[in-house]
Amino acid sequence: SAVISQKPSRDICQRGTSLTIQCQVDSQVTMMFWYRQQPGQSLTLIATANQGSEATYESGFVIDKFPISRPNLTFSTLTVSNMSPEDSSIYLCSVEQGYSGNTIYFGEGSWLTVV
Amino acid sequence: SQQGEEDPQALSIQEGENATMNCSYKTSINNLQWYRQNSGRGLVHLILIRSNEREKHSGRLRVTLDTSKKSSSLLITASRAADTASYFCATVARQGAQKLVFGQGTRLTINP
């Protein structure tokens, strides 16, 4: 299975600031995804990070608020911009490994608290 | 949008008993995947079951899939305290983007 490393694992952020979360995978993957999990809730897909092109955002999420980079097949970043307390969530990076039968693996997540 | 519904939302059983969690979904799927999440941590992949499969096993885990009813179940046999976690089902649609849509999850507590 893919080994996915996320940084930071946890952070406390000031309202109005921005934070960039990094996701590093130990092998090349085609599909990378970013999810948000608000406290006590399930996971919601923010966007699919495409290598070499703009990310594809889900309804309710916009690039200005959650800019994403995908410079190569093993790395992606998600920025949470102009944060408010409502952005306090766990943000999770996930990848699909085609040779494992389309299993989608997750990183440990980045737990952000906005104060 | 969330398409999965899981029940029960919370389940508390004694160690050694079996735990069954159910998941329903709305659209045609390519596959369905079950995950475990310990409090505040990432998701651990448990089992992937494809739309043409009806049952899969992995250790103490048994997953069934009924595409006619658009439902799946996860059975954990001989539960242990370490099984305490939230369990999520997630589906990949048959058509369109290869992305997971999650259910609301079941919070499982195993009492020693």
Question: Residue A107 corresponds to which amino acid?
Answer: G
- Inter-chain residue contact B41 with A107, CB threshold 8 Å: no
User: What residue in B sits closest to A112 (Cα-Cα)?
Assistant: B40
Which own/partner contact pairs does B43-50 have at CB distance under 8 Å and 24+ positions apart?
Answer: B43/A43, B43/A92, B43/A94, B43/A106, B43/B88, B44/A106, B45/A1, B45/A103, B45/A104, B45/A105, B45/A106, B46/B74, B46/B87, B47/B74, B48/A101, B48/A102, B48/A103, B50/A101
Only one residue has tokens 């092109």, namely A53
- Does the structure show a pLDDT above 80 at B2? no
Contact B32, B23 (CB under 8 A): yes
- Inter-chain residue contact A106 with B45, CB threshold 8 Å: yes
Q: What is the pLDDT of residues A53-79, one digit of tens each?
A: 889 999 999 999 999 999 999 999 999
- Does the structure show a pLDDT above 90 at A99? no
- Does the structure show a pLDDT above 70 at A103? yes
Position A98 scores a pLDDT of 67
Task: Look at B13 and B99; give whichever has higher pLDDT.
Answer: B13
Contact A34, A67 (CB under 8 A): no
Instruction: Please report which confidence band the pLDDT of residue A82 belongs to, taking 50, 70 and 90 as the band edges.
Output: very high
Q: What is the pLDDT of residues A16-42, one digit of tens each?
A: 999 999 999 999 988 899 999 999 899
Count Cα atoms within 13 angstroms, Cβ side, for B45: 23
Contact B44, B31 (CB under 8 A): no
User: What residue in B sits closest to A98 (Cα-Cα)?
Assistant: B98
Position B1 scores a pLDDT of 40
Look up residue B43 and give its two tokens. 């998701």
Average pLDDT of chain A is 93
User: Smallest Cα–Cα separation from A92: which of A3, A5, A2?
Assistant: A5
Interface test with B, best of A36, A50, A106 (most B CBs within 10 A): A106
B93 — contact with chain A (CB < 8 Å)? no
Instruction: Please report which confidence band the pLDDT of residue A85 belongs to, taking 50, 70 and 90 as the band edges.
Output: very high
Nearest CB among A45, A90, A107 relative to B99 is that of A45
- Does the structure show a pLDDT above 90 at B65? yes
A101 — contact with chain B (CB < 8 Å)? yes
Position B99 scores a pLDDT of 84
- Inter-chain residue contact A106 with B43, CB threshold 8 Å: yes
* Least confidently predicted of A50-54, A74-78, A98-102, A108-112: A98-102
- Does the structure show a pLDDT above 80 at A108? yes
Phi, psi (rounded to 5 degrees) for A6: -120, 140
